[in-house]
Amino acid sequence: MKKIFLVGALALSFCGYSVAKTNIKNDIVGIWAMTPLETGRANVVEYKSNNVVYLYPFTCLRDGKRIISGTYYNGVTYNNKVEKSTYSISNDVISITFDGEDKPYTSLRFNGIEKHKGQEILKLAEVSGPVTDSVATEFSYTKTNKVEPLCAEFFDK
């Protein structure tokens, strides 16, 4: 009896996942703040239902607990403008293409949305793009209602 229950529960969980995969676009629409990487990068992304995505670059600096609007590297701030791109979804991969470009800048595998302490956490893994073969290729984003980085937890580490 236990084996039948376990097999049934696993089957239901897989069915639920396949249904979730068909609604990736519905799941990702909104504003998502990235859990800061060890480098301090803490971007915020906003997925729109019309396949437009906005990237708001932020960097958290432990030195002085400062938040920089843009990507901060070796004392210089780069790319402090909001980037508008388009996205497409094929199976479980989200491809992001800069406006005016033909090929995606990055491709991210949708690894689901988890509920944790009343918050929605979006899990993505970079399939191709600028971070692959670097420090981190898996990202977590917390759903929010405003464009603001999650630097507080980074400062507390």
Q: What is the pLDDT of residue 108?
A: 94
From the candidate CATH numbers 3.40.50.620, 1.10.3720.10, 2.170.150.20, 2.40.128.360, the one assigned to the domain spanning 2-155: 2.40.128.360
Residue type, 45: V
Question: In this predicted structure, what is the pLDDT of residue 131?
Answer: 59
Query: What was the pLDDT predicted at 3?
Result: 38
Q: What percent of the chain has pLDDT over 90?
A: 57
State how far the Cα of 154 lies from the Cα of 62, in Å rounded to an integer.
Answer: 8
Query: pLDDT digit string (tens) for 109-128?
Result: 999 999 989 999 999 999 88
Please state whether the predicted TM-score (pTM) of the whole model is above 0.85: no
Q: Name the residue ranges covered by the structural domains of the chain.
A: 2-155
Q: How far apart are CA 51 and CA 25, in angstroms?
A: 9
Per-residue pLDDT band for 133 (boundaries 50, 70, 90) equals low
- The residues with which 138 forms a beta bridge, in sequence order, are 125
Measured CA to CA, the distance from residue 151 to residue 36 in angstroms comes to 7
